[in-house]
Amino acid sequence: MAWNYILLLFITFSLSSCHVIAENVLRTKVVILGAGMTGITAAKTLHEEGVHDFVVVEARSELGELSSFAVPSQFALYQLLFCSSSGGRMQTFTLENGINVELGPNWIHGLGRLPSELNPIYSLAIKYNLTTVSSNAEDLETFDSSGKINMNKDLEEVSSAWERYLALAGHRLDNEKADLTARAGFSLSAFKPRNHLQEAAEYFLFDFTFGQPPEVTSFIGAANNNNYTRGYGFLVQQEAKEFLNASDSRLALNHVVTSITYSTEGVQIQTDKHLTIEADHAICTFSLGVLQNDDVKFYPPLPPWKQEAIYGTNMATYTKIFLRFNQSFWAESEFWLYADPKRRGYYPIWQPLDLPGFLPGSNTLLVTVTDTEARRIAKQSTEETRAEIMAVLRSMYGKDIPDPQEIVYKNWHSDPLFRGSYSNWGASYPFDVFRTLREPLYNRLWFAGEGTSTAFFGFLHACLKLPLSLKSTDGAYLEGQKAAKAVIETLQDHTTGEEYHHHYKEYSKNQDFNGFSELRSDSLNELRQLIRAGDKLVTNAKAAVN
């Protein structure tokens, strides 16, 4: 059985101090649940700080294909101002022509400032010599069901409305007014889509970034690139290789976590392979989509304040569909925007991948869908999706174009290991409550990931180096670091993890759950600083481009 093999690895390779205390039972100081960027970063931080007694549990057979340290995907996107949130689900797929594509995140959001304040993910891209291509969102062809059209006025109108939107959001934040939906923000900015062309233009600017429409996205939260040709999974692989090998005893691959039991004494993990892991601490890096479903049972149930934070956050779905043809027949513009006359967001964003610097000769197209359309596609067959896509493509390029030889995409929404692509700040979701996503339970069960980052929820990284007061609000990469350091501090009895969880309140042993933290009143001040820092970065980027 599979678990016998896993246990054999733990017995044979004694590189760490975790050990078997009974049949199918492991004992370790720290168990890390999930081997994405957050989990691997947490494990690496523990390793570098001298804590080697840990176990990483991963449901798949790979850590971004760590098991074989495979060839990385050969496509990823970088965009300076128009960008799609990546969030952290990394899976590489090899097309029949040998081209590797990343089904998950490709985008690096914000490079930071040279030389000392680089985005940590961009630093990794440099470290591992990833080829990057500067993307131009203005290199755009526009279409509707009648073929190629001119949408310049519609795009300009939406862009102007977005600038007004950002100004209003900043004013609203400075005056501590209640949050609204992003749709309300657009309306207050004197913009309401009048036709399918403006709906498509709005989608390109908004949905393509946030993965959800303005109706369900925060007005204030929405107010906040380098294109490399190998996916984020490669970065995870290379980081893991620095301290792990494919047969490391600290890896429990092919194990799906089924339950988590936590108390003041520690944490116990059960997997579908009947493996029990007992640990002093657990770092849970599951996506919010997984936490929002019943795939993993918590004993005792998560306290109401934690459930409120989890269920109050949206989980966006962002689906990338790759189409490989025997020959190319399309325009060489970097982006195409399709405005369907009846349905908003119906196969709207297209990108040819055979352009110079990307995948020349690949004869491959990428079309992106989000939110309701992504969830709809997840429920239908690949053949149905192929037929819909080709109907759109033939309206753009004529009826004589060939069918694709291959179609590949990942149904993130229906996959029980992900339940979506990345988190999105919902409309009117209180900033203070958002921060409780990070709160530990009994200082034993810790939560980390892109969804727990108040500054960069939905992102793999922190976009720029922030002031000291904001350093607790980095993205998934730094969330993994900080969770691990908080655990280390607790293990050493130097602190109770206060540096990571500034607002953690010591629980009473008479309580059923860790007490709900009193959050500091300067949350809005932190968000103001964040938006101002982001505005400055965008201004500097525009100046550099000009």
- Whether residue 58 is annotated as binding a ligand: the answer is yes
136-224+318-419, CATH topology level: Polyamine Oxidase; Chain A, domain 2 (3.90.660)
- How confident is the model over 93-129, as pLDDT tens digits? 566 666 655 544 454 444 444 444 445 455 555 554 5
Alpha-carbon distance values, 283 to 42, 262, 266, 267 (Å): 8, 12, 12, 10
- How confident is the model over 462-482, as pLDDT tens digits? 322 222 233 333 344 467 787
**The pLDDT of residue 449 is above 50:** yes
Model pLDDT, residue 372: 85
- How confident is the model over 180-194, as pLDDT tens digits? 778 888 888 889 999
**The pLDDT of residue 160 is above 70:** yes
Model pLDDT, residue 501: 46
Model pLDDT, residue 146: 94
- Whether residue 59 is annotated as binding a ligand: the answer is yes
- Whether residue 222 is annotated as binding a ligand: the answer is no
The pLDDT-based confidence of 459 (bands split at 50, 70, 90) is very low
- How confident is the model over 123-145, as pLDDT tens digits? 555 554 555 556 677 889 999 99
**The pLDDT of residue 379 is above 80:** yes
Residue 287 near residue 315, CB atoms below 8 Å: yes
**The pLDDT of residue 47 is above 70:** yes
The pLDDT-based confidence of 269 (bands split at 50, 70, 90) is very high
Q: Return the higher-pLDDT residue of 397 and 315.
A: 397
**Nearest to 335, CA basis, from 231, 211, 208, 212:** 208
What average pLDDT does the structure give for the chain?
Answer: 70
Residue 111 near residue 82, CB atoms below 8 Å: no
Listed in sequence order, the residues at least 6 apart from 468 whose beta carbon sits closer than 8 Å to its beta carbon are none
**The pLDDT of residue 375 is above 70:** yes
Residue-range domain boundaries for the chain: 2-66+249-281+295-311+429-443+464-527, 71-135+225-243, 136-224+318-419
Residue 298 near residue 475, CB atoms below 8 Å: no
How far from each other are the two terminal CA atoms of the chain, in whole angstroms? 61
Model pLDDT, residue 263: 96
Percentage of the chain modeled with pLDDT above 90: 28
The mean-pLDDT minimum among 203-212, 261-270, 310-319, 429-438 falls in: 429-438
pTM equals 0.61
Residue 416 near residue 237, CB atoms below 8 Å: no
- How confident is the model over 233-250, as pLDDT tens digits? 444 566 667 767 767 888
Q: Return the higher-pLDDT residue of 280 and 509.
A: 280
* Matching fold, domains 2-66+249-281+295-311+429-443+464-527 and 136-224+318-419: no
- Whether residue 261 is annotated as binding a ligand: the answer is no
Model pLDDT, residue 380: 92
For 2-66+249-281+295-311+429-443+464-527, CATH gives 3.50.50.60
- How confident is the model over 313-325, as pLDDT tens digits? 767 677 889 999 9
